[in-house]
């Protein structure tokens, strides 16, 4: 079967569209006709995707498949398999209840490949946008050990935890970012609207202005007269930074620098430790070999400096050493983490210890995020208040001088 994207009109006259599998466009038209839909356009999904990519569609931004949606779909598939339903039939049932066309098309393609005799893990590899290397590796381990439904359930829990952690950090930083944006907007309005009108009064009197008022007047005139230059400079700076950051040297220097930023660096390290511990524990529990698990884990940290630490640790493990010693020697992982990993290695409960580390650092991330946001909010208020106060002071002082002169 092929996957088709269609558009049509239902019995009530409303425009409808969707994605559905069928033997041919004609078969799809017949099926939809029985459902009361008059088809106006049918395209194979790949062709439809190319066509939609050429069109400007703002709704596509809001239709992106989230990690949480992948986690829910994975959990539903695990439940179906645990109920004894064959894999192909379980995938068919899952496809019928999916709402996102992109995810429905991906699972439909996976279902068709599995039906042709390809393993589930190999079928998932064709959609790296939705199923990461970690996801595919865990599924492959589950298929090899005959515990696919157990691995999928564990994978769903892992994805759900990652989505919640990301959501906590994003939502906590959203309010300070909004405050900073509003403050910048207020200052911009003052510099482009208020300051030019007030400083025009000073020109009529011809009095010498204080240096800070002259500086404010000059800044306002530059911003009003050459606003396009400022925009070009900002765009150029952002473009140049991204180009530099895309280089090997830039990636290394940036990832090393960002870990040294006060408060932020420590928070990012905590997030990375939590992600490392939970990912490695999930992979090891799912039956993935330790060296392969470390290869996968180093790619989910999001920091090249920490990834190098895991790479060096992997080499030590390959040579027969434990995991805790190279992590401790790197100086990047907190002592409590390496100590708990060492205990887990000695007791044969490494997976459990890694889960404890992840849970502990999830809690620390919550506390640290609250601390950072509680410090950012008054800092932004003080900064914006200082800028606004400086502008007001630079305007009011000459006005007072003018009043004394007139009086």
- CA angle in degrees (0–180, nearest 5) for 220-224-230: 95
| Co-location of 198 and 263 in the same domain | yes
What CATH number is associated with residue 108? 1.20.81.30
On average, the pLDDT of the chain sits at 81
| Co-location of 322 and 294 in the same domain | yes
| Co-location of 223 and 362 in the same domain | yes
Dump pLDDT digits (tens) for 78-95.
Answer: 999 988 888 889 998 888
| Co-location of 83 and 31 in the same domain | no
Tokens of 206: 């011809």
| Co-location of 17 and 118 in the same domain | no
Helix (H, G, I), strand (E, B) or coil at 270: helix
- CA angle in degrees (0–180, nearest 5) for 199-200-204: 115
Number of domains in the chain: 3
Please state the rounded mean pLDDT for residues 324-338. 87
Please state the rounded mean pLDDT for residues 238-255. 89
At residue 323, does pLDDT exceed 90?
no
Instruction: Report the alpha-carbon distance of residue 152 to residue 124 in Å, rounded.
Output: 13
Rg over CA atoms, the chain: 29
Q: Residue 235: its pLDDT value, please?
A: 93
| Co-location of 345 and 201 in the same domain | yes
At residue 364, does pLDDT exceed 80?
yes
Higher pLDDT, 257 or 45: 257
| Co-location of 149 and 255 in the same domain | no
Please state the rounded mean pLDDT for residues 202-211. 70
| Co-location of 148 and 22 in the same domain | no
Across 58-62, 130-134, 151-155, 382-386, least confident range = 58-62
Dump pLDDT digits (tens) for 378-390.
Answer: 888 888 888 888 8
Q: Residue 45: its pLDDT value, please?
A: 54
Domain's final residue, options 62, 79, 104:
62
| Co-location of 27 and 76 in the same domain | no
At residue 55, does pLDDT exceed 60?
no
| Co-location of 332 and 392 in the same domain | yes
At residue 60, does pLDDT exceed 60?
no
Greatest C-alpha distance within the chain: 96
The parent domain of residue 11 ranges over 2-62
Confidence of residue 393 (pLDDT cuts 50, 70, 90): confident
Write the CB contacts of 164 (distance below 8 Å, at least 6 apart in sequence): none
| Co-location of 179 and 258 in the same domain | yes
| Co-location of 152 and 266 in the same domain | no
Please state the rounded mean pLDDT for residues 49-54. 48
At residue 299, does pLDDT exceed 80?
no
Domain's final residue, options 18, 44, 62:
62
Distances 360 to 277, 337, 348 between C-alpha atoms, Å: 10, 10, 20
Domain's final residue, options 161, 176, 191:
161
In this structure, the chain runs to a length of 407
Instruction: Report the alpha-carbon distance of residue 45 to residue 285 in Å, rounded.
Output: 37
């Amino acid at each position: 079967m092929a996957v088709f994207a269609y558009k049509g009109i239902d019995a009530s006259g409303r425009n409808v569209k969707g994605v559905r599998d069928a033997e041919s466009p004609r078969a799809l038209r017949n099926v939809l006709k029985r459902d009361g839909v008059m088809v106006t356009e049918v395209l194979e999904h790949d062709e439809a995707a190319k066509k939609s990519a050429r069109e400007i569609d703002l709704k596509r931004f809001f239709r992106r498949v989230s990690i949480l949606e992948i986690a829910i779909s994975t959990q539903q598939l695990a439940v179906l398999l645990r109920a004894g339903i064959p894999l192909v039939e379980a995938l068919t049932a899952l496809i019928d209840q999916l709402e996102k066309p992109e995810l429905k098309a991906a699972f439909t393609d996976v279902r068709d490949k599995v039906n042709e005799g390809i393993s589930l893990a190999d079928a998932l590899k064709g959609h790296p946008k939705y199923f990461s290397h970690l996801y595919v590796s865990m599924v492959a381990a589950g298929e090899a050990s005959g515990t696919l439904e157990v691995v999928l359930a564990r994978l769903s829990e892992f994805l759900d935890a990652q989505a919640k952690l990301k959501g906590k950090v994003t939502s906590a930083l959203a309010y300070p970012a909004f405050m900073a944006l509003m403050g910048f907007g207020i200052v911009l309005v003052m510099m482009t609207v208020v300051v030019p009108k007030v400083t025009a009064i000073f020109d009529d009197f011809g009095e010498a202005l204080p240096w800070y008022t002259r500086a404010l007047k000059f800044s306002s005139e530059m911003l009003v007269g050459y606003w396009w230059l400022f925009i070009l400079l900002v765009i150029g700076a952002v473009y140049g930074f991204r180009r530099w950051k895309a280089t090997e040297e830039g990636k290394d220097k940036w990832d090393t620098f960002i870990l040294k930023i006060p408060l932020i660096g420590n928070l990012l390290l905590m997030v990375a430790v939590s992600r490392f511990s939970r990912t490695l524990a999930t992979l090891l529990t799912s039956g993935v070999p330790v060296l392969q698990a470390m290869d996968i884990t180093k790619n989910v940290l999001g920091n090249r400096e920490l990834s190098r630490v895991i790479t060096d640790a992997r080499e030590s493990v390959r040579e027969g050493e434990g995991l805790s010693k190279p992590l401790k020697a790197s100086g990047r992982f907190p002592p409590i983490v390496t100590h708990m990993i060492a205990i887990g290695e000695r007791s044969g409960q490494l997976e459990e210890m890694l889960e404890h580390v992840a849970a502990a650092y999830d809690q620390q991330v919550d506390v640290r995020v609250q601390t950072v946001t509680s410090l950012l909010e008054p800092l932004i208020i003080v900064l914006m208040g200082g800028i606004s106060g400086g502008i007001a002071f630079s305007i009011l002082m000459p006005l007072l001088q003018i009043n004394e002169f007139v009086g």
